[in-house]
Structure 1
Amino acid sequence: MPAVGANFRAAREARGLSLSEVAEDIHIRAVYLAEIEAENWRAIGAPVYVRGFLRTYARFLGLDPEEAVAEFNRTLPVAPGLNSQEHTAVMPERAPRGLSPLIWIAGVVAVFLIALVIYNAVTLRRSAPNQIVAGIPSPTVLPSVTPMASASPPLVQPNTLSLRISAPSWIRVTIDGNVSMEGTFPAGTAKSFHGRAALVRIGNAGGVELLVDGKPVGKLGGPGDVVERSFAL
């Protein structure tokens, strides 16, 4: 089976496109596209960004994005003792005799809280975008995000990703490998982020508009569409 980088380069050249022309269309820098075709994965960054770039580039070229990601995954080293095709859930061990009951109780509470967080996240993603929700709780934003004043936005700096929300939507934004924003946000919310690479997942793509360095990217989908997209800033 031909290497993924060779497939991408052959498909691009068959269309008569240069790297700079592709970069302009899919908002991924030409230098990253060149690294993909050379399969120089370390120069791109963490595997999560490589996978996002591969999916976007593959869709543009008319290739199978999941096949490209699977081929990339086969190049990654497998940790000793792990089967790459099997993921076994690790159950919490019963507290050994002699340990304080408080330690056992703390473990049970921790497992319950993790399950509750996962359940809430799944429920938010499946909720209909046009459903009227009474009393939407205030979104939980990590301390690294600086709230932006929607009435008087600052000058746009380079390497900036901006979001403008016109309808309630669940959103998660990962900047340089760190989750900078996650939760359900009401219409009228505006956020900006600075970094090298961004991964955005939106639960209501029709209600969120994105801008890169002040230039509109537009909406990534229609109302209710769940969309994930990566950007090189």
Structure 2
Amino acid sequence: MADAGGVGQQLRSAREARNITLAEAAQSLKLAPRQVAAIESEDWASLPGNTMIRGFVRNYARVLNLDADALMRALDATRMQRTLQLEASAGTSSHLPQASNQAERRDYLAGHRGAGAAGPGTAGVFLCSAELLARAVGGAHG
């Protein structure tokens, strides 16, 4: 049954051939009927993510006594092809910022909590990295 359409179509055809209603399939899978309909129509965006989609398809295949591994391979091929199409077309008009010779100043806070410090209410010692750098450079010249 590997070439009989997409994964969703294969599942729908198998369900209908067994005279199982969408509601009955949903009950067997412990899913909402709208989720089963989304699987059958391959509306992957309305389902809760790749891991869940894979689980739904695998369980649905088992309920219908289909080859779950073949359906998983077909699902992966379909999803991979779609991902590659999205990657190829995404961001084609974007530009990266140009590098400059000027150093960018960034101030970061470095935190230290002493050995006796306990709990969120204890004050730590915070110094600005720019201040530390200024002290190091100033100490070398002074």
TM-score when normalising by structure 2: 0.52
**After alignment, is 18-27 or 34-43 more displaced?**
18-27
**Equivalenced residues, count:** 80
Q: Could you say which residue in structure 2 is the equivalent of 1:42?
A: 45
Question: Do residues 69 (structure 1) and 72 (structure 2) align?
Answer: yes
Map residues 44-59 of structure 1 onto 2, 5 A cutoff. 44-59=47-62
Q: Distance in 2 between matches of 1:70 and 1:29?
A: 25
Map residues 134-213 of structure 1 onto 2, 5 A cutoff. none
Map residues 213-224 of structure 1 onto 2, 5 A cutoff. none
Deviations 1:156-215 (A, max 9, x none): xxxxxxxxxxxxxxxxxxxxxxxxxxxxxxxxxxxxxxxxxxxxxxxxxxxxxxxxxxxx
Letter in 2 for 1:68: L
Q: Give how far 1:45 is off.
A: 2.1
Q: Distance in 2 between matches of 1:24 and 1:41?
A: 20
Q: Distance in 2 between matches of 1:42 and 1:70?
A: 19
- Shift >4 Å, 4+ stretches: none
Q: In the alignment, which of 22, 27, 30 is matched to residue 24 of structure 1?
A: 27
Give the RMSD, CA atoms, in angstroms.
1.6
Letter in 1 for 2:20: L
Structure 1 unaligned residues grouped into runs of 5+? 81-233
Structure 2 unaligned residues grouped into runs of 5+? 88-142
Letter in 1 for 2:44: W
Letter in 2 for 1:16: N
Q: Distance in 2 between matches of 1:38 and 1:51?
A: 15
> Which structure shows the bigger proportion of residues in strand conformation?
1
Q: Distance in 2 between matches of 1:36 and 1:57?
A: 9
